[in-house]
């Protein structure tokens, strides 16, 4: 999978590349408007991460050109602007998602996988991890072919961990992901423990060996 990251902040670019490459994505980068335009015109990407404010031009112009050329690349806008009108403008121009800085890399990764999945696995959205199967369309989970009855939050938690498999995902990132955009976050993560406990119990009842490892103080890791 090939990803183009358009971002003018070198350090941020570096950390995104670092995280995504370890997820086996092939990352290309552009730090200004012209480079970005050349790369978009010259190659096809599975997903483009697009910063709005770029030296030499506005990222939304690139999005506009991309859609005019009828290119199928998935686009996630990464912006420091989080006002609703900015979001609506970006999504109306045809972006697949809109992520506000600062964000968790695990969240970015989960959104990239969602965009790529939507583009390539039409109709048969199945994620398989040995005996565990996640049906993305029906939002159901199977262990050894038998359905596991998960609550919405438990399902979202599992999918989030699965999207960031073999990565340490922090409690904060999980809390933010489960609470949704703009939700107030408390310093109390007890509710995550409850969801996690229930999820693990339900999976192991279906006969799935426990692959979700809890890391002291930080968070969790879904090991495959």
Binding site for another protein (CB under 8 A): 9, 11-12, 15-16, 18-19, 22, 80, 82-85, 101-106, 153, 167-168, 170-173, 178-180, 182-188, 190-191, 194-195, 215-219
Distance between CA atoms of 110 and 37, rounded to whole angstroms?
26
* Helix ranges restricted to H, the chain: 10-21, 33-42, 59-68, 84-92, 105-120, 152-163, 171-179, 190-205
Write down the least CB distance from residue 52 to another protein, Å.
Answer: 12
Write down the least CB distance from residue 72 to another protein, Å.
Answer: 28
Write down the least CB distance from residue 30 to another protein, Å.
Answer: 17
For 75, phi then psi, to 5°, come to -130, 130
In terms of CB distance, is 42 or 186 closer to another protein? 186
In terms of CB distance, is 138 or 215 closer to another protein? 215
In terms of CB distance, is 102 or 123 closer to another protein? 102
Write down the least CB distance from residue 167 to another protein, Å.
Answer: 6
Distance between CA atoms of 100 and 91, rounded to whole angstroms?
13
In terms of CB distance, is 70 or 152 closer to another protein? 152
In terms of CB distance, is 72 or 186 closer to another protein? 186
The 3-state DSSP class for residue 123 equals coil
Q: Give the burial string for 110-136 (b: 16+ CB within 10 Å, else e).
A: bbbbbbbbeeeeeeeeebeeeebbbeb
Strands 53-54 and 132-135, sheet pairing: unpaired
Write down the least CB distance from residue 91 to another protein, Å.
Answer: 15
């Amino acid at each position: 999978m090939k990803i183009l990251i358009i971002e003018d902040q070198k350090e941020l670019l570096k950390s995104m590349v670092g995280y995504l490459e370890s997820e086996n994505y092939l990352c290309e980068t552009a730090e200004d408007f012209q480079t970005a335009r050349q790369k978009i015109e010259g190659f096809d990407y599975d997903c483009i991460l697009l910063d709005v404010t770029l030296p030499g031009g506005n990222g939304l112009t690139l999005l506009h050109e991309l859609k005019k050329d009828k290119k199928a690349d998935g686009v996630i806008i990464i912006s420091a602007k989080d006002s609703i009108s900015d979001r609506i403008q970006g999504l109306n121009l045809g972006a697949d998602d809109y992520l506000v800085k600062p964000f968790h890399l695990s969240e970015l990764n989960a959104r990239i996988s969602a965009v790529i999945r939507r583009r390539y696995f039409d109709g048969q959205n199945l994620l398989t991890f040995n005996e565990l199967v996640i049906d993305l369309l029906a939002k159901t989970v199977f262990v050894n072919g038998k359905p596991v009855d998960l609550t919405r939050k438990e399902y979202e938690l599992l999918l989030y961990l699965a999207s960031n498999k073999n990565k340490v995902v922090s409690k904060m990132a999980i809390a933010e992901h489960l609470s949704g955009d703009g939700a107030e976050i408390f310093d109390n993560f007890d509710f995550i423990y409850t969801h996690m406990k229930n999820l693990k119990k339900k999976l192991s009842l279906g006969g799935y060996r426990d692959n979700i490892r809890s890391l002291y103080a930080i968070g969790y890791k879904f090991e495959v």
